[in-house]
Structure 1
């Protein structure tokens, strides 16, 4: 199945520029793939391996090996910032969270690493966006749920706290109102008020 997932990523994002694998105790291997956009100065990172098993609610009595949401994570940043390549392990940590912590990743979820996404990054958390835009959902044979490819929107600590208090919709509205470039690896927090 991961072969189909990788093919879906390549079809949507182009050829893989680099890849790295990370293995955590008690979790399957997670790869992070890097893609360079030939038409724009962007670099995209995608996890591969998170979707191998469905995410299971930790309160469920029995984990269904087939049914349940499946996902991979996507992060897009402007190219040219060498430190962003150090995001590979943090992305793998987020992708392993469903197996390690029983987390079910959904749109509007806040995933907080508690440390910078890469050295010197002003972000330590991400907001999960809706799937289907950059990489279409990948249907799987029934009864499996499709693989959804969730874009991650980096948040500063102030934005993370504000989002928790006001909700993700309010943060997205603030980003939109200020024309925030969410792909800028050096951006500062959006002005927050109210």
Structure 2
């Protein structure tokens, strides 16, 4: 079974069957899909997961030769409250973020920021995301040596002010501020956290 297929199996085991999927292809990249999962317990959450980013390991852009086996592998997860915004339009921006390692040589890692170049969905107050720690919602997918596991990394939407503040103070400080103010990071219409005090 290919890495991509195993990653999809890992997602469905953790989140159930997707109720929709979309496919995006960027010039010079493999196809990236975005799967949508609706929480079966009626919790009002919708989760979007990329599929295809893990097909190849991410490579440091300064490396002379790309190793086809070694290197970190990942897929991206975004969780939002359903019905408060047109979040299904996030599919293309998510796919673009997932293609960034192939297109731009980006290595996605926890604590990093990814810029979407525009609103995550129409009228969204967010134009970038903070990459969270993997392993919570979907367990890492172990692969045979020498391959590293596929990690399913949550994305936390940031307003432009939050992204600028994070660049100065760091990811941990921003997450502490969100926690201190009880910020609902799944609210697609939330206001930015207070950063002045």
Give TM-score scaled by structure 1 length: 0.98
Determine if contact 2:35/2:49 at 8 Å carries over to the other structure: yes
Match of 1:158 in 2: 161
Task: Kindly state the Cα deviation for residue 81 of structure 1 after the two structures are TM-superposed.
Answer: 3.2
Q: Flag structure 2 segments of 5+ consecutive residues without an equivalent.
A: none
Give, in whole Å, the separation in 2 of the partners of 1:139 and 1:116.
Answer: 34
Partner of 1:70: 73
The match for 1:57 is: 60
Instruction: Give runs of aligned pairs for residues 11-160 of structure 1, distance below 5 A.
Output: 11-39=13-41, 40-160=43-163
Residue aligning to 2:185:
182
Query: Structure 1: which 4+ aligned runs deviate by more than 4 Å?
Result: none
Q: TM-score, normalised by structure 2?
A: 0.97
1:29-68 deviation line (CA, Å, top 9, x unaligned):
0000000001111000000000000000000011000010
Residue matched to 2:6 = 4
Q: Which runs of 5+ in 1 are unaligned?
A: none
Question: In 1, are the aligned partners of 2:77 and 2:152 still within 8 Å (CA)?
Answer: yes
Report the Cα distance in structure 2 between the residues aligned to 1:169 and 1:71, rounded to whole angstroms: 21
> Tell me, what secondary structure is at the counterpart of 1:169?
helix
CA contact (8 A) 2:85 2:188 kept: no
Aligned-pair distance for 1:193?
1.9
Aligned to 2:196: 193
**Residues in 2 aligned to 1:91 and 1:30: alpha-carbon distance in whole angstroms:** 9
